[in-house]
Structure 1
Amino acid sequence: MTKLTQQQCIILTGFTGILHGEFEWFHADLERRLGREVQTSELGYPEFMEQCKALYEEDFSALIPD
């Protein structure tokens, strides 16, 4: 079995809301995608997490094998 890459962990975390890998990886990528700082408390709001999911949806779909 092949281990996930750091980028794959970030995408899975962003799409599912379940942490894969290091939190720091995801947090930095989320801030980059949003173009602003993200307070960790924001991650507790379901509506914010739905916005995050949308940011990662295309990348998540690209992970699915043909």
Structure 2
Amino acid sequence: MQKLTPQQCIILTGFTGILHGEFEWFHQDLEKRLDREVQTSELGYPEFMAECRSLYEEDFNRLMPE
């Protein structure tokens, strides 16, 4: 079995809402994708997490084997 890369952990976290890897990896990537600072309290809002999920959906789908 292969270990996940940090980028794969970030994508899984963004799409599922379940932390994989280091929180800092995800937080930094999310801020980059949104082009703004993200307060950790925002992650507790279902509407915000739905927005996050959509940001990672395409990358998540590309993780699937062909």
Q: Same fold (TM over 0.5)?
A: yes
1:25 shift after superposition: 0.1
Give the unaligned 5+ runs of structure 1: none
Deviation sequence 1:8-49 (CA, Å, 0-9, x none)? 000000000000000000000000000000000000000000
Q: Which portions of structure 1, spanning 4 or more consecutive aligned residues, are displaced by more than 4 angstroms?
A: none
Q: Hey, what's the Cα distance between the residues in 1 that align with 2:49 and 2:6?
A: 20
Quick check: 1:3 aligned with 2:3? yes
1:50 aligned counterpart, secondary structure: helix
Give the unaligned 5+ runs of structure 2: none
The CA RMSD measured in Å over matched residues stands at 0.1
Structure 1 counterpart of 2:12: 12
Q: Hey, what's the Cα distance between the residues in 2 that align with 1:51 and 1:64?
A: 21
- Tell me the amino acid that sits aligned with residue 51 of structure 2: Q
- Tell me the amino acid that sits aligned with residue 37 of structure 2: E
Q: What percent identity do the matched residue pairs reach?
A: 80
Structure 1 counterpart of 2:47: 47
